């Protein structure tokens, strides 16, 4: 057990063992030993690698993309044959092309609500924009799409030049679909035919509804009979009694229909129902003069819509089905869409310097990093926790505001090359490695166990070191955990090996570290006959940097624990020099603790360490705000409440629906849908942040179990 003598040696390990095959690769740790004011752990917080990694891991998972809503990545994807797609409308027509998946949550609950169900007839190719990429309010969620279409984040100038929200949705949809067609990447019945995005749930822009790749399988007028005159749904307090018939999943979710029970043929129909005619509508979608938005409350007819109150909850519940990995462990993401990870493209790639350089500069200031990206520490005592938290969550504030048109053009060229390659039956640069699964494995292995290990280390503060039973119990717990981390990589040295084997620059350290860091990628070496294309080389880089960071801390701490164990605990209990050991141990434990804290901050897997602390009851669910399902706090006195707390109506360009029905909180459960520009605002979002009218993000970072009336009624402030 010893403080490492030379971190320089470590920097060397990183450099020499990594297959430094591209010039952009940056060492994780600084090989020089300057900047002595920085933490000894020397994680490079300016490296794009952990963000690159986390983006791959988060693909198609609601939870992760809600915590980190500004997508940076563009991913080719596929949808299996016979996958169902839903489309809600407020008229009896079939959709024009292209069209977005409109949820029942928006289109339902009106006097003219219609539901169209389609099924794919073949394997369909798509592209997926990660983040909350179908969110029309806030800052940065649409950047990657706009860059792809227009080369800048604002798109074409237009009268007023304001934020136009849904008005631009059709321009965006058409822009992407036209791009497929113009580049000969897809069209009706072949190639790329849709664009997958997310807000509260996943949806798809379908480029052409005349395509033989999908077939309409039902087209229903789902308008429900109104409640009797004078009846009202708003006072419904027993939401649980609301019929589940209103459950209607989002476009890409799956739901069984037509269940035929064996042996009951005389009761249930055994013949197929007739298919509706194949639609012939072929006009092109245009920006509507009055785009659809969720039902607005306060109207008398709305009060009599029977399913209005449960509609938002149903929408929300369908989104929770794709939460994916979170503080409660692994979970299912949107599995109907399969990402083709060998074609993963992201603005976190080190080649996009137009964003990386200003971002690094800004974070140096806001997060107290050195020019090389090392953490200079919190400065004042007592704020370490807060600063670490800001480091851990830093990706949430990333956007693509500084990407230049030429970088956007590079991304577009790269994507065309990749998409075209994947059209071929045997793509040139697709090894078949499941990169998403690999990153998920790594997060599952280390995500919650790092969190648990940190808590075990923190318990030391309450151990009376003179109580040997207590101390030994704590040490056994810590050693059990480090042993589990190192188990696949560590070969114990001979018993008579010197104490020096347990230090950082020992040959034991180097061998163990190398096995740990390259545990996933050892064979992806040109010498083993594997050659990867540019996208997969970057994936390999991001994984090796990430496991490199993890192993750098865990092998160091694990070996130090073994050293302390061997010299202080693996001997007769009452033969240690207590005072000597407790001083050593105290400084070591504090070193280990900061190592794990800084590692977790560097990884930035913030969503993996958030969950509802209480276990939710059967009729509850762990809620995080997902646009547009963002309830507003209501006041306890019941007077006005929610309405008064709506978004500031004076925000340029945002306007908003009418608020205010005394006593009921906000009259409709959805967060602000952007209004058409009514005055010349300045184009780009006014400020950073996702729910600018909310003073903090506690609802996101400390989620709670809620019941089904929560979205409609909000929470008591
Ligand atoms: C950290 O990463 C950034 C960006 O890749 C790089 O410019 C910098 O040199 C790296 N710092 C160290 C200490 O390697
Ligand atoms: C759908 O049903 C509602 C209620 O029965 C009716 O008022 C409406 O006209 C119907 N819409 C169409 C397009 O048939
Ligand atoms: C963004 O790109 C569009 C289309 O290329 C162009 O019309 C517009 O002027 C650009 N906006 C800015 C702010 O450069
Ligand atoms: C449903 O409503 C009935 C009658 O109002 C009530 O007694 C019951 O508790 C409600 N069920 C639930 C699950 O809340
Ligand atoms: C959709 O495909 C049909 C048939 O190939 C074609 O006639 C039509 O123009 C296409 N519509 C759009 C909007 O591209
Ligand atoms: C940054 O770290 C340095 C060195 O520890 C310290 O002097 C300074 O106060 C810190 N600044 C902030 C804003 O935390
Ligand atoms: C240490 O004990 C105090 C007092 O009982 C408690 O508040 C604190 O949470 C404990 N710390 C840890 C890490 O368990
Ligand atoms: C040591 O701690 C254990 C567990 O808390 C306790 O039962 C025991 O009495 C303590 N021994 C001494 C000598 O304080
Ligand atoms: C495949 O990768 C090689 C090596 O990086 C590259 O030269 C080639 O352009 C790539 N081919 C395609 C179709 O992307
Ligand atoms: C530990 O110390 C006690 C008395 O302090 C003694 O009786 C016992 O034999 C010692 N045990 C060992 C293993 O030395
Ligand atoms: C106790 O420790 C001393 C000094 O470290 C050593 O010489 C002695 O052999 C040890 N006794 C036992 C019983 O292990
Ligand atoms: C538009 O904004 C300008 C400048 O902020 C203001 O003077 C004008 O009154 C606004 N017009 C409307 C219709 O709100």
Q: Which atom of ligand 10 is nearest to the CA of 574?
A: 1
Return the top range by mean pLDDT from 221-235, 373-387, 565-579. 373-387
Q: Is 215 helix (H, G, I), strand (E, B) or coil?
A: strand
Instruction: Choose the residue to mutate in 571, 573, 575 for probing ligand 11, maximizing ligand atoms within 8 Å of C-beta.
Output: 575
> What confidence category does residue 631 fall into, taking pLDDT thresholds of 50, 70 and 90?
confident
Q: How many angstroms separate the alpha carbon of residue 224 from the centre of ligand 2?
A: 9
**In this model, does residue 1 exceed pLDDT 60?**
no
* Residue bearing the bigger pLDDT, 677 or 271: 271
Q: What is the mean pLDDT of residues 663-668?
A: 33
Our answer on whether the CB atom of 462 is closer than 6 Å to any ligand 7 atom is yes
Q: Whose CA is nearest to atom 12 of ligand 7?
A: 459
Q: How many angstroms separate the alpha carbon of residue 525 from the centre of ligand 11?
A: 50
Q: Which two structure tokens, joined as six digits, stand for 210?
A: 């005349």
Q: How far is CA 314 from CA 10, 308, 320, in A?
A: 53, 10, 10
pLDDT tens-digit map of 122-171: 999 999 999 999 987 667 899 999 999 999 998 887 665 555 555 678 88
Q: Which atom of ligand 8 is nearest to the CA of 467?
A: 1
pLDDT at residue 579, rounded to an integer: 61
Q: Are 595 and 375 in contact (CB under 8 A)?
A: no
| Residue 254, burial from CB neighbour count under 10 angstroms (0-12, 13-18, 19+) | exposed
* Longest alpha-carbon distance in the chain: 90
pLDDT tens-digit map of 61-70: 999 999 999 9
Q: How many angstroms separate the alpha carbon of residue 54 from the centre of ligand 8?
A: 44
Q: How many angstroms separate the alpha carbon of residue 112 from the centre of ligand 2?
A: 5
Instruction: Choose the residue to mutate in 462, 473, 589 for probing ligand 7, maximizing ligand atoms within 8 Å of C-beta.
Output: 462
pLDDT at residue 9, rounded to an integer: 29
The radius of gyration of the chain's CA atoms, rounded to the nearest angstrom, is 28
Q: How many angstroms separate the alpha carbon of residue 346 from the centre of ligand 3?
A: 22
**In this model, does residue 682 exceed pLDDT 60?**
no
Q: How far is CA 688 from CA 34, 376, 692, in A?
A: 35, 25, 8
Q: Which atom of ligand 4 is nearest to the CA of 619?
A: 13
Q: How far is CA 536 from CA 76, 318, 428, 516, 533, in A?
A: 14, 33, 12, 20, 6
Our answer on whether the CB atom of 461 is closer than 6 Å to any ligand 7 atom is yes
**In this model, does residue 642 exceed pLDDT 60?**
no
Our answer on whether the CB atom of 464 is closer than 6 Å to any ligand 7 atom is no
Q: How many angstroms separate the alpha carbon of residue 532 from the centre of ligand 9?
A: 9
Our answer on whether the CB atom of 274 is closer than 6 Å to any ligand 11 atom is no
Q: Are 50 and 549 in contact (CB under 8 A)?
A: yes
Angle at 141 (CA atoms; ends 154, 143), nearest 5 degrees: 35
Q: How many angstroms separate the alpha carbon of residue 575 from the centre of ligand 11?
A: 6
Q: Which two structure tokens, joined as six digits, stand for 524?
A: 């992806």
Q: What is the mean pLDDT of residues 501-527?
A: 96
Instruction: Choose the residue to mutate in 462, 465, 467, 475 for probing ligand 8, maximizing ligand atoms within 8 Å of C-beta.
Output: 467
The ligand 5 site (C-beta within 6 Å) comprises 97, 188, 208, 210, 282, 284
Query: Cα separation of 582 and 463, whole Å?
Result: 11
Buried b (16+ CB within 10 A) or exposed e, 199-213: bbbbbbbbbbbebeb
pLDDT at residue 449, rounded to an integer: 97
pLDDT at residue 454, rounded to an integer: 98
* Nearest bound ligand to the CA of residue 572: 10
**In this model, does residue 412 exceed pLDDT 80?**
yes
> How is residue 521 annotated by DSSP?
T
Q: Are 398 and 18 in contact (CB under 8 A)?
A: no
Query: Cα separation of 343 and 319, whole Å?
Result: 26
pLDDT at residue 22, rounded to an integer: 35
Q: Are 429 and 342 in contact (CB under 8 A)?
A: yes
Instruction: Give strand ranges (E) for 200-330.
Output: 201-206, 214-221
* Residue bearing the bigger pLDDT, 318 or 156: 318
pLDDT at residue 92, rounded to an integer: 75
| Residue 377, burial from CB neighbour count under 10 angstroms (0-12, 13-18, 19+) | middle
The ligand 2 site (C-beta within 6 Å) comprises 92, 111-112, 221, 223
Would you say the pTM of this structure is higher than 0.75?
Answer: yes
């Amino acid at each position: 057990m010893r403080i490492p003598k030379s971190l320089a040696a470590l920097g060397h390990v990183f450099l020499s063992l990594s297959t430094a095959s591209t010039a952009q690769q940056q060492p994780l740790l600084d090989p020089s030993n300057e900047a002595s004011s920085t933490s000894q752990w020397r994680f490079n917080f300016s490296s794009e690698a952990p963000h690159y990694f986390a983006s791959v891991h988060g693909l198609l998972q609601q939870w992760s993309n809600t915590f980190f809503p500004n997508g940076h990545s563009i991913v080719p994807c596929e949808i299996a044959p016979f996958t169902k797609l839903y489309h809600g409308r407020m008229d009896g027509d079939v959709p024009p092309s292209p069209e977005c998946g409109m949820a029942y949550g928006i289109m339902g609950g009106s006097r003219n609500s219609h539901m169209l169900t389609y099924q794919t007839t073949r394997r369909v190719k798509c592209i997926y924009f990660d983040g909350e990429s179908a969110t029309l309010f806030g800052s940065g969620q649409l950047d990657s799409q706009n860059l792809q279409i227009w080369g800048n984040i604002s798109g074409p100038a237009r009268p007023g030049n304001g934020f136009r929200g849904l008005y631009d949705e059709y321009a965006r949809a058409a822009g992407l679909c036209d791009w497929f067609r113009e580049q000969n990447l897809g069209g009706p019945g072949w190639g790329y035919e849709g664009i997958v995005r997310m807000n509260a749930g996943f949806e798809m822009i379908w480029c052409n509804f005349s395509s033989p790749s999908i077939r309409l399988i039902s087209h229903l007028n789902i308008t429900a009979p109104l409640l009797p005159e004078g009846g009202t749904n708003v006072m419904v307090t027993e939401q649980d009694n609301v019929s589940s018939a209103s459950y209607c999943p989002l476009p890409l979710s799956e739901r069984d229909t037509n269940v035929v029970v064996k042996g009951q043929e005389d009761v249930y129909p055994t013949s197929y129902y007739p298919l509706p005619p194949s639609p012939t509508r072929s006009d092109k979608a245009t920006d509507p003069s009055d785009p659809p938005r969720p039902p607005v409350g306060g109207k008398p007819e709305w009060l009599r819509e029977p399913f209005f109150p449960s509609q938002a909850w149903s929408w929300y519940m369908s989104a929770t089905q794709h939460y994916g990995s979170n503080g409660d462990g692994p979970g299912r993401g949107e599995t109907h869409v399969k990402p083709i990870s060998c074609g993963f493209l992201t603005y976190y790639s080190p080649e996009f310097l137009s964003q990386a350089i200003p971002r690094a500069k800004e974070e140096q200031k806001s997060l107290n990093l050195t020019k090389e990206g090392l953490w200079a520490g919190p400065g004042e005592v007592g704020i370490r926790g807060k600063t670490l938290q800001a480091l851990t969550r830093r990706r949430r504030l990333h956007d693509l505001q500084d990407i230049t048109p030429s970088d956007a053009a590079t991304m577009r060229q790269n994507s065309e090359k990749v998409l075209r390659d994947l059209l071929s039956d045997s793509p040139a640069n697709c090894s078949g490695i499941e990169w998403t699964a690999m990153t998920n494995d790594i997060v599952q292995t280390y995500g919650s166990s790092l969190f648990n290990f940190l808590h075990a280390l923190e318990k030391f503060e309450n151990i009376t070191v003179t109580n040997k039973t207590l101390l030994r119990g704590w040490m056994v717990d810590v050693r059990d955990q480090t042993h589990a981390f190192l188990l696949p990589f560590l070969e114990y040295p001979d018993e008579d090996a010197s104490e020096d084997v347990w230090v950082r620059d020992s040959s034991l350290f180097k061998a163990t570290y190398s096995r740990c860091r390259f545990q996933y990628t050892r064979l992806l070496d040109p010498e083993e006959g594997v050659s990867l294309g540019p996208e997969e080389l970057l994936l390999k880089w991001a994984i090796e940097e990430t496991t490199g960071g993890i192993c750098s801390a865990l092998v160091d701490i694990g070996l130090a624990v073994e050293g302390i164990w061997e010299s202080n605990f693996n001997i007769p209990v009452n033969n240690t020099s207590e005072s000597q050991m407790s001083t050593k141990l105290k400084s070591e434990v504090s070193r280990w603790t900061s190592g794990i804290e800084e590692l977790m901050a560097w990884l930035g897997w913030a969503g993996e360490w958030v969950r509802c602390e209480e276990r939710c009851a059967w009729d509850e669910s762990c809620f995080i705000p997902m646009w547009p399902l963002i309830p507003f706090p209501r006041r306890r006195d019941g007077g006005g409440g929610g309405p008064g707390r709506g978004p500031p109506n004076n925000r340029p360009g945002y306007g908003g629906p009418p608020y205010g029905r005394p006593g009921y909180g906000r009259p409709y459960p959805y967060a602000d849908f952007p209004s058409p520009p009514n005055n010349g605002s300045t184009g780009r979002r006014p400020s950073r942040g996702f729910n600018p009218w909310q003073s903090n993000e506690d609802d996101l970072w400390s989620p709670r179990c809620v019941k089904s009336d929560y979205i409609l009624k909000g929470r008591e402030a």
